[in-house]
Structure 1
Amino acid sequence: MAADRMKHLLCASLILWSSNCYAVDRNNFKTCEQSSFCRRQRKFHPDVSPYRALLDTLEISHVAASLNLLHEKTQVLLKLEICGLEDNTVRFRITELETKRPRFEASDVLVKSPRTYRLSVEKQTTEELMLLGRDSLRISVSARPFRIDVLSGGELVTSVNARGLLLFEHSRTRGNTLTERVSSTVGSMWTKLKAVFTSGKEEAASEEKNEGESPEGEEKAHEKQPDLGTDEKEDQEEMVEEEEEGTWEESFKSHHDSKPYGPMSVGLDFSLPGFEDVYGIPEHADSFRLRTTSSGDPYRLYNLDVFQYELENPMALYGSVPYMVAHSPERTLGLFWLNPSETWIDIASNTAGKTVFGKMLDFVRSANEGPQIDVRWMSESGIVDAFLLLGPSPTDVFRQYAALAGTQALPPLFALAYHQSRWNYNDEDDVRAVDAGFDKHNLPMDVIWLDIEHTDGKRYFTWDPNKFPNPADMQNDIAGKKRKMVTIVDPHLKVDSGYSVYNEAYSRGYLVKNKGGGDYEGWCWPGSAAYLDFINPEVRDWYASKFAYESYQGSTDILFTWNDMNEPSVFNGPEVTLHKDALHHGGWEHRDVHNLYGFYQQWGTVGGQLRRSGGNERPFVLARAFFAGSQRFGAVWTGDNVGEWSHLKASIQMVLSLNLCGLSFSGADIGGFFKNPPTELLIRWYQAGAYQPLYRAHAHIDTARREPWIFGSDTTALVRAALRERYALLPYWYTVFFWAYRSGMPVMRALWIEFPKEEQTFLIEDEYMIGNALLVHPVTEAASRGVNVHLPGAHEVWYDVHTQKKYSGGQEINYPVKLSTIPVFQRGGTIIPRKDRPRRSSACMSGDPYTLYVALDDQKFAEGELYMDDEHSFNFEKENEYQLRHFLFKDGTLKASVSSHIPPGKYSSIEWLERIVIVGIAQPMLSIMMKQPGSQDVPLAYEYTPELSSLIVRRPGVRLTADWTIVIR
């Protein structure tokens, strides 16, 4: 009883700590110096590589060119594979030729096995190998020291191991290292030397003679052996580093890591000549452009539950994507390090002092030295599996990465609308009151969320019988408003013999094991908790069955899922997560698969939603932890942010980074999770969030209620305006998301993606593009009266979407703002579809008419697209029930037709065109005629405003899925 009481007190204190902590305790999380493998890797300084490529072992197949690498000091052999992949991509794999234990390979991350082709040999000597690939690809392998140079179009684009930092800690048993062999030799010699000094040289010589050695031989040994020689010293120093504290076992605070397989880390460097700017490797609360790390810790990728994270920090957060993009005016390059173990990334640059204006600070570059980025990857276990995406354009790189890790799943339309959440809505009456409040105040809303308090004692897939006694009735009421609900389902299970989900998982052996083979138990929201082993596909399949209506009693088809705490979070674990020597299916240690845990849970959850609908309905699953490829399963968000202006600003940088790395469906908690934001900040966050892919308000249980009507009518009106901007643009959002699904293009784009040669855009992180047509510059400063907006493109024109005022590109403007202002500009040459009739939810907009906003460039040209399907099912894939409409304005004529960018679909809709707004049209009109095949021409009413060069065509009345032409004369 006393032990149980102590457990409950510990749990209560942990929960109290987590709910009241408003600053991250950095002591809970490791630095590189406290992570022994990172410390060892970093101590391995740039030098001549100890590895030699054995070029005479070259073998070439349709899969790879393979050869052996020899560590010339340890004599350990590695296997190098170089694979030419279709679409200008190269893969490098380095594994052990012989191993005492298999190393984990994250094959499930790849959407399919990459298609390879046969490389050919252009040149081969004992010291150099030149391989030829497609698309002007050449790969040079130098034997000694080992180095790979990748050339594209005759130019060097990447060098591998140019700094000699390949360090592959080979598999071995304790007590069989070079250190101990050297130590044994030195110890033996010291015994002999001691005998000389204590018993006399003659006695020592006599002993040597009895061993078959002459006195002269002893003297020679005496002269050279204690010094060991230069090479032997280096060997000893290198291996002593391997034997330092933390090599075979490691402790952090009160937690012990047994490391039964010893040191198995891998590291490799990549040099990127010609590049000054590199981005990606989310998730970090840091600048969009990655910083150099020579003066501090490397960037860390290790999924962790970090309460109120610090900004401008390379600390690990909730998710990890080991993928970065380098960009220059000449080329874009992608680098994907496929390893799910704890990973650190060092970045060095010879242009580290570059400012936003492209100048240099405290750095003088020699005349013959160009810019270069050096990237060093260091992972605790696994293999070297790296993909080089050669672009050369940003669009090419996004397509190449999508071919590996997959594209963003196309969400149902409701998921792109507004979500209302907090920890927690108290009961069914509270849910109904919030729902009614949005209607009363004419605020659109699509989804209400329930956090952990809705469950029966933190037992997931259950409902609190007192607070939520009739969950199906509650959901039916919400469904009557054409809205949805989301409930939270975390990966930990309350250890409770009365909890059926736990009992079944326990009896089937579906739980993560501790190092001794028993079920691992840690502490989380329910108290003592066990953790499902999602690495096991059988567990994921079983877990999916729990979402069936008969299993998840009280659930309905409008109920969707939120996977939180899936780093996984363990309140009393090392770094608030699972012990690394915990065991998973297949005998893998947790250290091998840690960053994949949330990926696999979200996969299983998606499987559950698919199964319950018979595979017909698109899922919606939000997850906090993620890895490369998580975009295939749904949405992510930036975790436990803070209601402060700095976090609003940081949300832009973080979501830009997520979008760059494939996770387009991402956003930040509106208003901040912690603290009570001032009203002005809340308004500005609603405005910014309206132009981020995931639009969800969420708040901590200890914060004051934040429903938009609580702060008075003026605030309500401003929030309403922001919400309506989001809803009006849903057709455009849906179209941009379709292309993210189809091609891998980000939804939310850094300016340089659209303007890749414009260096002024490379460091801009406070404004961005949605698709190719909208430029957004959220207001992120208190009491702001104006923002400086960079309008890119010297030959572009831009239109204020609210005033229709025209601006020339290639300049920075000071844009005055009021509290009601959201600075948004439409790019000249684009056409945007909208639905401008306000409704209570996105489903209520079905059947509403469209408006086309046509923004002409200086050549009086514009084009755009509209993607249409049923907005919720997989019929667009299974039955080709979709349409992609193309709109083209040229020579005074607006034409609608089926897009030629994808095969035509067969979706039909009654939705019609209510209005056309054309800006940048500066000539008087005599007539506007509607032309349709098989019909008489119909004159259309219009209104022209010469001061704004704006034309409004009223009620064309044509169906959006029909072909038609409007001629303006």
Structure 2
Amino acid sequence: MVAHKPDRTLGVFWLNASETFINIQYSDHQEDETPPVKRRRADPQTDVHWLSESGMIDCMVLLGPSPQQLFAQYAQLTGYQALPPLFALGYHQCRWNYIDEADVKSVDAGFDRHSIPYDVIWLDIEHTDGKRYFTWDPVHFPEPAKLQQHLEKKNRKLVIISDPHIKVDPSWSLYCEARDRGHFVKDREGQIFKGSCWPGESSYLDFSSSATRAWYSRCFGLDKYKGSTPSLFVWNDMNEPSVFSGPELTMPKDAVHCGDWEHRDLHNLYGFYQHMATVEGLITRSGGLERPFVLSRSFFAGSQRLGAVWTGDNVANWEYLKISVPMVLSLSLAGIAFCGADVGGFIQDPEPELLVRWYQAAALQPFFRGHSANVTNRREPWLFGDEVTAAIRTVIQQRYSLLPYWYTLFHQAHTSALPLLRPLWVEFPEEESTFSVDSHYMLGGALLACPVTEPGIQEIKVLLPGSDEIWYDIHSALVYKGGRTLSLPVTLDTVPVFQRGGSVVCRSVGSCSCTAELRQLPLSVTVALNSQGTADGELYLDDGHSFRYRDRKVFCLRRFSMLSGRLLCRPASEEGTFDCNTVIQSVTILGVKSKPSAVIVHASGAKDISAAFQYMETCCKLTVNSVNLRVAMDWEIQI
């Protein structure tokens, strides 16, 4: 739990995996009405009562006092966000269920035909042979390895689902192996617990056992998981765990785990342990060389070390779109940086306006996946007419162009625990006007995003914090003073995003079909000057998929800083070497108050050159094109 007031941010970490009730009571300001003057009795106070069913009292108070210090303190206790492979930050296309291999190839081709980039296509439970995980339907998915190779030729990945329940089937070798080696949760009588889930009668793997986790991890080996390849990744669903025949649709509290622990004691750890075992399985599969990607529906403190989570099965209506923003902000504050909500709503069919607005909102969240239930209409982005297709294409393309910035934010979360998505008060802790705002937020320290989450909106109100701040509309480059609420006209194509004065943001230039192609594109740098005419920002680069950044320090971290009309590109870290050919194609500087007489480019080891530039007086925007400066090289631009 995080508490904040203008001069302090505090946290309470209540470490308990059993059923826990938290009662929160708020009190308002009270004033003494006794003459001759009114006196304030006390600051408003929030009383919190914690009640856990079992376990010990294990409570840690995090003293901050700044939000950034609080995040670091929590990460020191529970771990830092894993650095995901770059492809995981692209767009994911999922449905329960794509029918067969031809259907998957058709959807994949549809993205190329409509020039919409994407990186991952997903398969739900119907891809298996009778809901038996680690198997393939022999009729609909007879050649899964060839399907993955077809996708891999385009640098795309396949994600399959793997749930914790195992079909009770004495003729299935995996079930028999788990049964005979004691890998299932037991009931109170000491027999293997049986409940119902997608396959019908099922038993549940006991992930609290290290032996079970190690066995499960080995199940992902290429020699054991027939039909899998290194480009296959995993989705852990139903791992609360879901038991259709159980009380509250989950496992009875008196079910028995390894070491005679009752399920009541570790219910909220169950999915965490499956997530852990799956991640370890994918790392082992690669010989410890490749970063895994695993999405989990259930999670616990520390799940950020493992991968991504999402907000679960949502509904295709405006209310669910609206609440997705505060939900991912709450997850972000709790250390779960890699999070998102299913685009369009899992259940029911979204109207076209809702679908477009959902893509716009979700593209500004870390995990970006379209997903829908099997009873809904098909929802590929090109099925709603040319106007909707164009709007979705634009949004996804903008997401890909911003991935250099997203990836840098993930590096910051991985190394310093800074959340990618931040409520406004995190960046402006002393401004009480920001405390209750959860409709718009900061994406890192540089961008303020305000997705439209209501129907038929023609105008939206955006709080631009900081009376001494300057904000630039990223689309029009118009400049606004902070410390005000802005009324902004919007159309269906409008996604209000502002760049903060004093920041630098890097984007990719050009089109791509997936993140592998994105890595070959040049970059543009947008420098937004503050009222003092300064700005700074970072760019993080590595190979995008391995652990070499960690084990061999193969990475590149560069800092862009502008002061007194000079933009410098220098190393931001003494560590790290990464031989990359990424170049800066153009530099845009916002807030240049007069047209310069010249722009001089100086690169290390080269002669100074006078660069061509364009200046727009109406919005004080200076653009320097065709600079073609390597990111990994020291250089400067003087205006």
Structure 1 counterpart of 2:42, from 333, 355, 369 = 369
Instruction: Give secondary structure in 2 for the equivalent of 1:952.
Output: strand
Q: Deviations over 1:700-729 (max 9, x none)?
A: 100000001000111000000100110000
| 2:347 is the alignment partner of 1:674 | yes
- The one-letter code of the counterpart of 1:916 is V
| 2:424 is the alignment partner of 1:751 | yes
Match in the other structure for 2:116: 443
Report if aligned partners of 1:581, 1:591 keep a CA contact under 8 Å in 2. yes
State the 1:352 CA deviation. Answer: 8.7
Match in the other structure for 1:958: 629
The 1-side partners of 2:195 and 2:227 are apart by 29
| 2:164 is the alignment partner of 1:487 | no
Matches within 5 A, 1:456-495: 456-495=129-168
Match in the other structure for 1:577: 250
- The one-letter code of the counterpart of 1:932 is A
The 1-side partners of 2:61 and 2:599 are apart by 53
| 2:607 is the alignment partner of 1:936 | yes
Report if aligned partners of 2:29, 2:42 keep a CA contact under 8 Å in 1. no
Match in the other structure for 2:585: 914
Seq. identity, %: 52
State the 1:366 CA deviation. Answer: 6.2
Structure 2 counterpart of 1:836, from 506, 509, 525 = 509
State the 1:340 CA deviation. Answer: 0.4
- The one-letter code of the counterpart of 1:791 is L
Report if aligned partners of 1:831, 1:852 keep a CA contact under 8 Å in 2. yes
Instruction: Give secondary structure in 1 for the equivalent of 2:630.
Output: coil
The 1-side partners of 2:40 and 2:415 are apart by 45
Match in the other structure for 2:464: 791
The 2-side partners of 1:960 and 1:499 are apart by 54
The 2-side partners of 1:380 and 1:366 are apart by 42
The 1-side partners of 2:420 and 2:43 are apart by 33
Query: Which stretches in structure 1 are left out of the alignment for 5+ residues?
Result: 1-323, 354-364
Match in the other structure for 2:224: 551
Instruction: Give secondary structure in 2 for the equivalent of 1:435.
Output: helix
The 1-side partners of 2:39 and 2:304 are apart by 43
Report if aligned partners of 2:29, 2:43 keep a CA contact under 8 Å in 1. no
| 2:26 is the alignment partner of 1:349 | yes
| 2:560 is the alignment partner of 1:887 | yes
The 2-side partners of 1:493 and 1:696 are apart by 27
Change (3 A) 1:515 1:352: farther
Match in the other structure for 2:126: 453
The 1-side partners of 2:413 and 2:188 are apart by 42
What do you get for the CA RMSD once the two structures are aligned?
1.1
State the 1:927 CA deviation. Answer: 1.4
- The one-letter code of the counterpart of 2:130 is G
Report if aligned partners of 1:389, 1:397 keep a CA contact under 8 Å in 2. yes
Report if aligned partners of 1:898, 1:904 keep a CA contact under 8 Å in 2. no
Instruction: Give secondary structure in 1 for the equivalent of 2:41.
Output: coil
The 1-side partners of 2:451 and 2:26 are apart by 31
Report if aligned partners of 2:400, 2:518 keep a CA contact under 8 Å in 1. no
Instruction: Give secondary structure in 2 for the equivalent of 1:832.
Output: strand
| 2:620 is the alignment partner of 1:946 | no
The 2-side partners of 1:825 and 1:547 are apart by 44
- The one-letter code of the counterpart of 1:341 is S
| 2:414 is the alignment partner of 1:737 | no
| 2:533 is the alignment partner of 1:856 | no
State the 1:500 CA deviation. Answer: 1.7
Q: Deviations over 1:782-821 (max 9, x none)?
A: 0100110000011000000000000000000111000000
The 2-side partners of 1:933 and 1:412 are apart by 32
Structure 2 counterpart of 1:565, from 206, 214, 238 = 238
Structure 2 counterpart of 1:526, from 192, 195, 199 = 199
The 2-side partners of 1:717 and 1:806 are apart by 28
Query: Which stretches in structure 2 are left out of the alignment for 5+ residues?
Result: 31-37
Report if aligned partners of 1:855, 1:918 keep a CA contact under 8 Å in 2. yes
| 2:91 is the alignment partner of 1:418 | yes
Match in the other structure for 1:32: none
Q: Deviations over 1:56-82 (max 9, x none)?
A: xxxxxxxxxxxxxxxxxxxxxxxxxxx
Q: Deviations over 1:409-446 (max 9, x none)?
A: 00001101100001000000000000000000000100
Instruction: Give secondary structure in 2 for the equivalent of 1:709.
Output: coil
Runs of 4+ with deviation above 3 angstroms: none
Report if aligned partners of 2:504, 2:537 keep a CA contact under 8 Å in 1. yes
Q: Deviations over 1:840-895 (max 9, x none)?
A: 10111122111001111111111100001001100000000011100001111110
State the 1:407 CA deviation. Answer: 1.0
Matches within 5 A, 1:704-723: 704-723=377-396
Match in the other structure for 1:924: 595
TM-score (norm 2): 0.98
- The one-letter code of the counterpart of 2:192 is D
The 1-side partners of 2:138 and 2:604 are apart by 62
| 2:313 is the alignment partner of 1:640 | yes
- The one-letter code of the counterpart of 2:8 is R
Matches within 5 A, 1:546-625: 546-625=219-298
The 1-side partners of 2:526 and 2:136 are apart by 47
Match in the other structure for 1:695: 368
The 2-side partners of 1:409 and 1:492 are apart by 26
- The one-letter code of the counterpart of 2:20 is T
State the 1:838 CA deviation. Answer: 1.3
Report if aligned partners of 2:613, 2:625 keep a CA contact under 8 Å in 1. yes
The 2-side partners of 1:603 and 1:405 are apart by 14
- The one-letter code of the counterpart of 1:699 is S
TM-score (norm 1): 0.65
Match in the other structure for 1:653: 326
Change (3 A) 1:453 1:804: same
The 1-side partners of 2:39 and 2:176 are apart by 68
